[in-house]
């Protein structure tokens, strides 16, 4: 989209806004009965969504969201242009199988930016790298596959920049979300910010607390990798020393590879 003549990019500025996308699935049971008319082979109800972290408003930069579901589902292309209570663009469905959902995010017209496409695998059953992780999911009320993402607006057009940084009434928030590059100061630009909660709650797993836990986990993994590399290095040096000794002892023996 070609910008109007009066639209110029705000040079040296990056603005990021966190959001969550993903799905929540629940097995049909006495607590979650099948709605009337549900096909008999459907085993789960599920929701796919895009929303702000801590249910903060994202409609000032996200105009609408398109969800492309499996072709076997009636009306598989769903365009959602209104948010539900809690600020989510979402689709509710039932089914029995897992599949990939294409999510296309459309920005507000003032952004003059092209839509962004994301891909999400619908999860109906416990998953994880370990049996312990799967067991935790089995004990939970639902199966969540939520992904934290940050939308980066690099040098936005001036009208969109004003929208991103203008004050707004909101019950939650705080923090800083605008980074000024090329030696500029980093600071707050208004109440529309990129904050995330300080602590984790069952309905909001992404927070500064989980961020710190993940950083600690990565640091511990780096230490283990370094220890393994040192161990393998020592073993390699020992084998090279032994090989040199054998070559010196048996100079006429040809080694085969």
**Token digits of residue 225:** 């990798």
- Residue 192's pLDDT is 67
| DSSP for 112-148, written as a single string | ----EEEEEE---S---SSHHHHHHHHHSSSEEEEEE
Residues 34-53 pLDDT 10s: 999 999 999 999 999 999 98
Model confidence at 179, pLDDT cuts 50, 70, 90, reads very low
- Model pTM? 0.73
Cα 167 to Cα 139: distance, rounded to the nearest angstrom: 42
Query: Could you tell me which residues are beta bridge partners of residue 15?
Result: 153, 178
192-240 tens-digit pLDDT: 666 776 777 777 777 777 777 778 888 888 989 999 999 999 999 999 9
- Is 194:176 a contact under the CB 8 Å cutoff? yes
């Amino acid at each position: 989209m070609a910008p109007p003549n009066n639209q110029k990019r705000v040079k040296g500025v990056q603005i990021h806004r966190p959001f969550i996308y993903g799905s929540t699935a629940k097995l049909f049971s006495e607590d979650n009965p099948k709605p009337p008319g549900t096909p008999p082979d459907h085993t789960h109800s599920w929701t796919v969504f895009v929303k702000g972290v801590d249910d903060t408003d994202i409609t000032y930069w996200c105009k609408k969201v398109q969800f492309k579901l499996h072709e076997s589902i009636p009306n598989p292309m769903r365009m959602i242009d209104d948010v539900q209570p809690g600020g989510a663009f979402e689709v509710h469905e039932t089914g029995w199988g897992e599949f990939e959902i294409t999510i296309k995010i459309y920005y507000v017209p003032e952004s003059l930016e092209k839509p962004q496409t994301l891909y999400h695998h619908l999860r109906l059953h416990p998953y994880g790298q370990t049996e312990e992780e799967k067991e935790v999911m089995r004990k939970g009320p639902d199966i969540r596959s939520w992904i934290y993402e940050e939308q980066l607006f690099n040098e936005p057009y001036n009208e969109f920049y004003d929208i991103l940084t203008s004050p707004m009434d909101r019950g939650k928030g705080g923090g800083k979300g605008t980074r000024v590059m090329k030696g500029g100061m980093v600071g707050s630009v208004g109440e529309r910010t990129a904050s995330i909660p300080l602590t984790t709650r069952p309905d909001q797993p992404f927070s500064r607390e989980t961020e710190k836990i993940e950083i600690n986990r990565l640091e511990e993994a780096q230490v283990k990798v370094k220890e393994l590399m040192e161990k393998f290095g020592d073993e390699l040096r020992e084998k090279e020393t032994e090989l040199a000794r054998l070559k010196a002892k048996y100079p006429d023996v040809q080694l085969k590879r």
